[in-house]
Amino acid sequence: MDQSQTRTLAQSNGFRWMDFDAYLFDIDGTLLVTRDLVHYNALNRAIREVYGVEATIDGIAYHGKTDLGILRAVLERAGTSADVFEARMPEALSIVCREVGANAHGITADICSSIPEVLTHTWHRLRKFGNRRLA
């Protein structure tokens, strides 16, 4: 998703992005679980298109890894050299972004079961210690 698409989404969906002090980002499925294949397919497409490797992210331990870490692990397993990986990495990430942006409507995310409790507890602890902006 390029900057103009992001700006359009931020303006058109009615979400008031600037009304919040902080955002949480979930890279590896700690906060949200997605059962769709949007990101999976995007990573696999980048592997095929950019590196010409018929491999998938299946079998890669992805928790704690960014997209780069996942791509690197797959391509190392497939025998791609570090030099080739690094040289083509910007194009691979561009394809991942393009594919996720094009298929974002298909993303379905569920909040992991304990996360609301953790966030509520954190919220109350921060308020207790005087962060008035949270009130």
Q: What is the DSSP string of 69-85?
A: HHHHHHHHHTT--HHHH
Q: What are the tokens at 8?
A: 């359009």
Q: Indicate the domain borders of the chain.
A: 27-110
Tens digits of per-residue pLDDT, 54-73?
999 999 988 788 899 999 99
pTM for this predicted structure: 0.69
Q: Distance of CA 122 to CAs 17, 20, 32, 51, 114, Å? A: 21, 16, 17, 43, 12
- Cβ atoms 108, 8 nearer than 8 A: no
Give yes or no for a contact between 104 and 42, defined as CB atoms under 8 angstroms apart: no
User: Which of 4-8, 68-72, 118-122, 129-133 bottoms out in mean pLDDT, i.e. has the lowest?
Assistant: 4-8
